[in-house]
Structure 1
Amino acid sequence: MNQVLLDAQSVLRNRLFGKETKCRQDIEKFQQDLKDLITRSVEYGESNSLLVIGSKGSGKTTLLKTTVDLLQKKLSKTLIIVRLNGYMQTDDRIALAEITRQLHLENTLGDKVFGSFSETLQFLLEALRGGSSHSSQPILFILEEFDLFTQHKNQTLLYNLFDLAMAGLTPLVVVGLTCRLDVIELMEKRVKSRFSHRQLYICNQWTAENYLQAFSNMLLLDAGFCKTAKHKSFLERWNANVVELSNNASVQDILKRQFSISKEMPSLQCLLVQPICKLNVNHQFITAADIADSARNVFSDPKANILHGVSVLELCLIIAMNHLTNIYAGESFNFHMVYNEFLKFTQKKLHILQKHNKPVVLKAFEHLMELELIKPKESTLSLASKLLKEYQPTILLLEEQQLKEAVYRYPGCPTELQQWLESSTV
């Protein structure tokens, strides 16, 4: 049974981390456009360029990956794929080096290595132009975070790729993926003139029911898992557990809350990582409690978590800041105002705090600044640099609800602090 469980975990992990990605039904309709574009390049030697535009997590990468995987099995020629990412290839020199590496052109013409930008560019363009549209191997360039490539100096890489695609000297398809709706406006005029202006807009049209169904589909094992009788027996019990889990009211509430925050597949995958990784011989099936534990981690507020690690003194200062924010309708405050609020409280409830002198309280105030729970007011930054720290206008970066949740979960929080937070004035 141990091996059967490991096999099940392997299948589920491959789904979670994209090795067995399935295209969502709501974006399958866009596949045909991509198929036609890439097929024409491979079969007829056409060159082209396309932008796939959609919000983060809407399925752009999944759509392209599933389409290419499907085509690779049917195409008569091998399609060379070059993948670039705007976060990794931060300038044209790095991008060209990566293209050269992926095309296996690092060391050609003997032992010569192209070191400079101009040499690499010239060599790469000649290598791509070498051959005709019928004899050359088709190349697909995938540029993720396409908008970041428009920030490169002179947009040299984009210009040359689009120029090659427009010239049609070698079968070349350039597909850019971006979440920027204004990406065309980010291109220089000469780059824009060489772009085909083909754009594919992806939007997530999932409903809450689709999201619940995706949860089940992500966990259900199919018939291909059945290698032995033990596998078949486990599959039946596992799938029955998944159906029961999907119909559980608490799980559905969690999924609906997750859907209201983010409709995208990555958020659902993130929710399932912990339950799947926790499976073992003594815990072979996912329970509603596992989903609830994972949801608590996924939904946890980073700022609230930081508050659990501050001292009682620092927590007092934050509550004082919250009072000042409410009293002055969101206006800024300074250290002296906070210190005065703090003194009013300690004079009434001194027994719950040690007596702290002003320099110690100022140090605690500065520590909250370092934790980025408070910050100087932006409109007064130039003036604030000329002021002493105690007088710099400051704003609180916490919502009242965040603070309340953190205070009530704070280990050993004095009841007086909770009462102070609830009161409208000190």
Structure 2
Amino acid sequence: MPSTKSTVDNMDALCAVKTLLRKRLGQCWVPEKFIGFEKEEKEIYDLLKRTVSFGESNSVVVIGARGIGKSMLLKSILNNICEDKKIAQNLLQVHLNGLLQTDDKIALKEIACQLQLENTFGNKVMGSFAENLQFLLEALKSGDDSSKPILFVLEEFDLFAQHHNQTLLYNLFDVAQSAQTPICVLGLTCRMDIMELLEKRVKSRFSHRQIHLFNQLTFRQYTEIFQQYLHLPEKFINPKFALKWNSGIEKISHDSTVEDLLKRQFSINKDIRKLKSFLMHPVCRLSENHPTLLVSDFIDSFKLITTDSKSSLLQGLSILEICLIIAMKHLTEIYDGEPFNFEIVYSEYLRFARNRSSMQIFNKSVVLKAFEHLQALELVKPLDGTSTRTQKEYRPVILLVHPIQLKEVLQKYPSCPTEIKHWAISSFA
């Protein structure tokens, strides 16, 4: 009985692990310790703390490439600030997104909704956006004429710059500058030229404070993030299982094969989203029959996410089209990269086919059709464009397939005749 109970507990724990890790990898999860951007994190933290503690109004734009971790950084900072219960109760937050709040009217309704002022706002009709916004902020003031600090987070900040007259931005920056109500306006954007998008009147009220995020992770930090996503928390439902699991993650992260895969992934792209994609496949493979993460899972995952699109195209070609690619590879070597035409390729193909009794020799019209299909797939590129008067058989072309790509495809190509492989090998040699 005890062993059966233990097995059931382990299965429940494994189910919980799978759910937890999927949520981490599929959503904007914020780890307890945020790695990277320590300097920027402190700068934003101090800015928000001054607004909360001293009622100082501020405005700032955080600029960084898409997926670099702007939203995660902000959530980490807010979590740290709101650890103080007094601050958590006092700070009001409004989160807007340029993809959702597509005009100022929608944005104003969302502000009223998040500040829980829909009833106060009601159907009250006022003249301008500024009056409506001012009314909402006045409604937040307490009896002693003071008001709670408000943080406005504008994600996809550049899209708000496309609103009519940039009214929302103008009024938020105006309130921040006038210090009537303690507010901090924080924009998140991937546009490096964001200041060029703002109107003069908006710029005049903006603090011009910009914080740029650049991915400067070291490989050691990258490995730490890898471990963070897979480690289980101390408060996991089954502490004994968590201890064993974390020990396994520590061991696998120092495995030479996994380290090599991480180094290759790191050299290709340091984007954390790519790392999450790399981890998703092994996590999804967890099951009753596959209760732990294995090195082979990470190898398979790396192969999946680094699949070359051109190699995938090559694997879908017919034997005739593969033969034409090999013939063109021969010609590229013979002519030292100089262009060639269909007639030359067809002659090279015939030379090979006639020397192999088992090879089927196709009609010239069929071979030309296959050649045109390779052009349509952009594996072969005409040098004189499509508006030329030259006959298509004599139009100069070049091959856009690398020898390594062709070699890898031939190794995996199903039922590829041995003689074709030998022909290709002679080309590589």
Q: Report if the CA contact (8 A) 1:143-1:174 is conserved.
A: no
Q: Which amino acid aligns with 1:21?
A: V
Output the aligned Cα RMSD. Answer: 3.7
* CA drift at 1:275: 1.1
* CA drift at 1:402: 1.8
Change (3 A) 1:362 1:241: same
**Distance in 2 separating the partners of 1:264 and 1:192:** 32
**Distance in 1 separating the partners of 2:47 and 2:388:** 57
Aligned to 2:133: 128
Q: Report if the CA contact (8 A) 1:45-1:138 is conserved.
A: no
Change (3 A) 1:425 1:263: closer
Structure 2, gaps ≥5 residues long: 1-9
The reply on whether 1:401 has 2:400 as its aligned counterpart is no
**Distance in 1 separating the partners of 2:333 and 2:132:** 66
Moved more, 184-193 or 2-11: 184-193
Among 143, 147, 150, which residue is 1:138 paired with?
150
SS at match of 2:36: helix
Q: Which amino acid aligns with 2:210?
A: Q
Moved more, 247-256 or 354-363: 354-363
**Distance in 2 separating the partners of 1:198 and 1:306:** 48
Aligned to 2:102: 94
Aligned to 1:37: 47
Q: Which amino acid aligns with 1:177?
A: L
Among 203, 208, 221, which residue is 2:214 paired with?
203
TM-score, normalisation: structure 2: 0.78
SS at match of 1:416: helix
* CA drift at 1:316: 2.0
Aligned to 1:115: none
Aligned to 1:103: 111
Aligned to 1:358: 364
**Distance in 2 separating the partners of 1:56 and 1:109:** 38
**Distance in 1 separating the partners of 2:246 and 2:316:** 42
Q: Report if the CA contact (8 A) 2:104-2:163 is conserved.
A: no
Moved more, 359-368 or 334-343: 334-343
Q: Report if the CA contact (8 A) 1:150-1:158 is conserved.
A: yes
1:366-394 Cα distance to aligned partner (Å, 9 max, x none):
333443434455xx54x636666555554
Q: Which amino acid aligns with 1:195?
A: F
**Distance in 2 separating the partners of 1:251 and 1:167:** 55
Aligned to 2:423: 420
Moved more, 243-252 or 181-190: 181-190
- Report 1:19-418 matches (<5 A): 19-22=28-31, 24-42=34-52, 46-74=56-84, 75=87, 76-85=89-98, 88=99, 94-96=102-104, 99-100=107-108, 102-103=110-111, 110=123, 124-130=129-135, 131-132=137-138, 134-135=146-147, 138-144=150-156, 146=157, 162=173, 165-166=176-177, 171-185=182-196, 187=198, 191-225=202-236, 227=237, 231-327=238-334, 330=337, 332-349=339-356, 351-352=358-359, 354-377=360-383, 380-381=384-385, 384=387, 389-390=392-393, 394-418=397-421
Q: Report if the CA contact (8 A) 1:27-1:59 is conserved.
A: no
Q: Report if the CA contact (8 A) 2:28-2:72 is conserved.
A: no
**Distance in 2 separating the partners of 1:349 and 1:213:** 56
**Distance in 2 separating the partners of 1:393 and 1:188:** 51
**Distance in 2 separating the partners of 1:2 and 1:165:** 54
**Distance in 1 separating the partners of 2:387 and 2:198:** 39
* CA drift at 1:224: 0.6
**Distance in 2 separating the partners of 1:11 and 1:137:** 34
Change (3 A) 1:410 1:45: same
* CA drift at 1:172: 4.6
**Distance in 2 separating the partners of 1:334 and 1:150:** 52
TM-score, normalisation: structure 1: 0.79
**Distance in 1 separating the partners of 2:193 and 2:232:** 42
Among 14, 19, 37, which residue is 2:23 paired with?
14
Q: Report if the CA contact (8 A) 2:403-2:428 is conserved.
A: no
* CA drift at 1:61: 2.5
Q: Report if the CA contact (8 A) 2:34-2:76 is conserved.
A: no
* CA drift at 1:336: 4.2
**Distance in 1 separating the partners of 2:390 and 2:164:** 39
Q: Report if the CA contact (8 A) 2:166-2:202 is conserved.
A: yes
**Distance in 1 separating the partners of 2:365 and 2:105:** 55
* CA drift at 1:56: 4.5
Q: Report if the CA contact (8 A) 2:104-2:167 is conserved.
A: no
Q: Report if the CA contact (8 A) 2:177-2:205 is conserved.
A: yes
SS at match of 2:90: coil
1:392-423 Cα distance to aligned partner (Å, 9 max, x none):
55444433222221122211222333333344
Q: Which amino acid aligns with 2:217?
A: W
Moved more, 259-268 or 325-334: 325-334
% identical equivalent positions: 42
The number of equivalent residue pairs is 404
Moved more, 284-293 or 209-218: 209-218
**Distance in 1 separating the partners of 2:287 and 2:62:** 41
Aligned to 2:3: none
Moved more, 5-14 or 146-155: 146-155
* CA drift at 1:311: 0.9
**Distance in 2 separating the partners of 1:136 and 1:360:** 77
**Distance in 2 separating the partners of 1:332 and 1:163:** 63
Change (3 A) 1:167 1:313: farther
Q: Which amino acid aligns with 2:44?
A: L
**Distance in 1 separating the partners of 2:225 and 2:206:** 37
Q: Report if the CA contact (8 A) 1:128-1:170 is conserved.
A: no
Q: Which amino acid aligns with 1:348?
A: N
